[in-house]
Amino acid sequence: MIRSWHLGDDRQSLVLASFDDRLPEAVYWGPALPTGENLETLSAAALADVTGGMVDRNAGLSLCPEASESFPGQTGLTARNASGAPLMPSFRFESEAASEHGLTLVFADNSLDLSLVFDLVLTPETSLLKLQTRLESADEITVDWLAAPVLPVPAHTGEMIEFSGRWCAEFLTRRLPFAPGSRVRDNRTGRTDHAHFPGLVVCNAGTSNTAGEAFAFHYGWSGGHKMVAEELADGRRQVQFGHATASLSSGRHFVSAPLYATYSATGFNGAAVRFQRHVRDRVVQGARTPRPVHYNCWEAVYFKHDLDELKAIASQAAGLGAERFVLDDGWFGRRDDDTSSLGDWVIDKRKYPDGLTPLIDHIKALGMEFGIWFEPEMVNEDSDLCRAHPDWVLGHADQIRGRQQLVLDMSNQEVRDYLYAHIADVLKNNDIGYIKWDHNRILPVVDAEQAEGFYELVDRLRSDFPAVEIESCSSGGGRIDFGVLERTHRVWLSDSNDALERQRIQHDAALFLPASVTGSHVGPRHCHTSGRTLDIRLRAWTAAQRHMGFEMDPRELTEAEAETLRNVTSWWKANRDWMMQADILRLDSADPAVIAEQQLAGDGSRFVAFAALTRPSDQILPRPLRLTGLDPQGRYRLSLVNRDEAPRLSRGAPFLKHQDLEVSGQYLMSHGLTLPWRFPETVWVVEGERL
């Protein structure tokens, strides 16, 4: 007997089938099927043959492949009973229920008193599958691995793009062949981490940003994930995501984080746009519009807080166009460097004898909102908190410190209450609209309760201070995922304010993140993390590609630099209403030295393309830059916004250098834009309007 289900819209179809009441298998995932397709026939048609040397039936590559079926690869569940013996459940269909945009399927193993529930949703409009597995047990058991619903990827996909990275180089992508055996990422840092963004894109050799098939995944969890991308010996392929190994423990109820997945027939951009829109419109709650221009004082003053200097900096930042001033690390306890005071969330009277009010009043008078830095989950041994409560520290006593700090045990209610009380006190007594919430080390133990405790604390603060926006930072982009984005409004993508590095990081992060949540700041002329010296135009345009801000000491700017920055900031402000709602489409540049993208308004009426030349090109003439996502029949007017940046060595007369261009979408997507010659480390900015 076959039971079958369909989750689909006009972009994709996922067909699930349960054979003889066994766990459901995704028998089809790909382009939308025609209405009226017979699901039962389709399910039966997908059954594979058996030959010599095989068992007599292929174990199901189900939403939770079972050890009891002798599944020949990674199983979806690894569990033990109270005496430590492995559990080998064999689940059978129990019930089904329609949910608002999907379904809930319940399977049970009555002999073990276990039930396995799959919550499966296809989010309307954004067309992301949101899939979760729950396991309920009558008895206390230990679970070592519970995968979110497991999906197969088809045989014709031969490659995968996975993510690694490091401090100042988040979202590094790596394209690997899908080969027999498994590719396992087990992130044991206890946080999302720079090195382990929980995403995967399975594709073909020919898939590009703008064309080809892609199956994309993201696991929405901040506590560290495990991923398995496996090709079984029989040739079938599966993708599993769940919490990092050893982060689950004993209990009766277990639940995976949501796995977001989508199929795109239009290259990586097809999937990227769905993730971006989903984050912007459904995950992030209550972000203020328009998105204010930031000023963050970290790289200007570090721990040296002087009221008069900060006021002078704030005045200059406001003059450049900043609308929010974020007071970074150094305002609390006796925090003169990073060896002390984390945990003592009390204003430092040595630096601020009259509290923060004089600074905040100054900032408000300049028309800016005030924001402040916290690192709530951390503690220094040199702090009143640690002296009073050494038992609140997570992990064993002789653990290796990270940035001279320890981690508080967020599963402890007393710890959360203490943090809530101190943060709430600062928020109640000061006019604060924004928190930069940092997390600057990995955990000493892998522990899901830590992330859950963090979620609970943020949720409580969010519900009591609904007007306060929060930025997720973790030494830059060490905690970026849809779990944290459900509770915050912006991510500090990277501690790298090096605009060339930023170009690459922003480009790859756009596979998942919209501009509206992606913080990008104009850093100092001499970059503090790379040692490079970069021109203000490159730095300003790079920040203007995302949620813009400044982080240098504005007093270092020459008048010419300040003018450039004011101009680019005004341009950003004039465009942010539509740009922060636009889709970021990554362009397939014919020149590997060029990183390019096109931000396209949802209604297609306008766009802006940014093309950064990151190093000298191999060929002498700029290669035409092909655009995407336009109406081939439509006519567009294009203008090179920063044509005044063309250097003298551009001696010819390419059209856009002197005048606006009116051409068809077909031309722009097929031939592409002929841009003037320019120096490396520059960005061309081209605005387009549909006529």
In the complex, the smallest distance separating the C-beta of residue 444 from ligand GLA, rounded to whole angstroms, is 19
- 298 contributes a contact to ligand GLA by CB under 6 A: yes
Detail the DSSP E strand segments found in 567-634: 583-586, 594-600, 606-613
Half-sphere exposure of 644 (CA within 13 A, CB side): 5
> Interface mask (CB under 6 A) for ligand GLA, residues 73-112, using x and -?
----------------------------------------
- Of 231, 382, 495, 508, which one interacts with ligand GLA (CB under 6 A)? 495
Q: Is 89 within 8 Å of 77 (Cβ atoms)?
A: yes
Report in angstroms how near the CB of residue 593 gets to ligand GLA at its nearest: 29
645 binds ligand GLA (CB under 6 A): no
What 3 state SS string does 169-236 have? EEEEEEEEECCEEEEEEECCCCCCCHHHCCEEEEECCCCCCCCECEEEEEECCCCCEEEEEEECCCCC
Q: Which is nearer to ligand GLA, 28 or 373 (CB)?
A: 373
- Of 507 and 521, nearer to ligand GLA (C-beta) is 521
614 binds ligand GLA (CB under 6 A): no
Q: Does 438 sit near ligand GLA (CB under 6 A)?
A: yes
Judged by CB, which is closer to ligand GLA: 298, or 325? 298
How far apart, in whole angstroms, are the C-alpha atoms of residue 493 and residue 477?
Answer: 4
Contacts of ligand GLA in 231-290 (CB under 6 A): none
Q: Any catalytic annotation for residue 49?
A: no
577 C-beta neighbours (distance < 10 Å), count: 11
Cross-strand pairs, 585? 598
Nearer Cβ to ligand GLA (475/642) = 475
| Alpha-carbon torsion (108, 110, 115, 116), positive or negative | negative
Residue 419 lies near ligand GLA (rule: CB under 6 A): no
Q: 462: helix, coil or strand? A: helix
Amino acid, single-letter form, for residue 480: I
Q: Report how far residue 384's alpha carbon sits from residue 390's, in angstroms, rounded to the nearest whole number.
A: 10
Active site residue 495: yes
Report, in Å, the least distance between residue 21 CB and ligand GLA.
51
Query: Which residues lie across from 325 on neighbouring strands?
Result: 295, 370
Segments in 203-306 forming alpha helices (H): 267-278, 298-301
Q: What is the dihedral of CA 377, 487, 277, 482, to 10 degrees?
A: 50
Rounded CA separation 379/502 (Å): 30
Q: Which is nearer to ligand GLA, 109 or 328 (CB)?
A: 328
- Please pick, from the candidates 262, 475, 503, 628, the single residue that binds ligand GLA as defined by CB under 6 A: 475
Considering the rule CB under 6 A, would residue 230 count as an interface residue with ligand GLA?
Answer: no
The verdict on 440 binding ligand GLA (CB under 6 A) reads yes
Among the options 119, 495, 553, 583, which is catalytic?
495
Residue 455-474 contact track with ligand GLA, rule CB under 6 A, x = bound: ------------------x-
Closest separation between CB of residue 495 and ligand GLA, Å?
Answer: 5
Rounded least distance, CB 298 to ligand GLA, Å: 5
60 makes contact with ligand GLA (CB under 6 A): no
Cβ-based nearer residue to ligand GLA, 217 or 492: 492
CB of 488 to ligand GLA, least distance (A): 14
Name which of 222, 196, 165, 273 is nearest 515 in CA terms.
273
C-alpha Rg value of the chain to the nearest Å: 26
Place of tokens 């492949």: 65
323 binds ligand GLA (CB under 6 A): no
Per-residue exposure over 175-209, b if at least 16 CB sit within 10 Å of its own CB, e if not: eeebeeebbebbbbbbbbbbbbbbbbbbbeeebbb
Site for ligand GLA in 343-402 (CB under 6 A): 373
Query: Residue 158 or 402: which CB sits closer to ligand GLA?
Result: 402
**Site membership for ligand GLA, residue 328 (CB under 6 A):** yes
Residue whose CB is nearest to ligand GLA in the complex, by number: 329
- Distance in angstroms (rounded) separating the CA atoms of residues 498 and 477: 14
Give the length of the chain: 691
Burial of 460 by CB count in 10 Å (0-12 exposed, 13-18 middle, 19+ buried)?
middle
Return all residues near 248 (Cβ < 8 A) that are at least 6 apart: 142, 143, 144, 145, 146, 254, 448
Q: Compute the C-alpha angle 401/402/407, nearest 5°.
A: 80
Residue with Cβ nearer ligand GLA (217 or 454):
454
Name the token pair of 672.
């592409």
Which entry of 329, 438, 553, 591 is annotated as an active-site residue?
A: 438
Q: Which is nearer to ligand GLA, 299 or 508 (CB)?
A: 299
Minimum CB separation from ligand GLA for residue 23, in Å? 43
Minimum Å gap between C-beta 371 and ligand GLA is 12
Q: How many residues bind ligand GLA (CB under 6 A)?
A: 11
For ligand GLA, the binding residue among 24, 190, 199, 476 (CB under 6 A) is: 476
CB of 480 to ligand GLA, least distance (A): 12
**Sites of contact with ligand GLA (CB under 6 A):** 298, 328-329, 373, 438, 440, 473, 475-476, 492, 495
Catalytic positions are: 438, 495
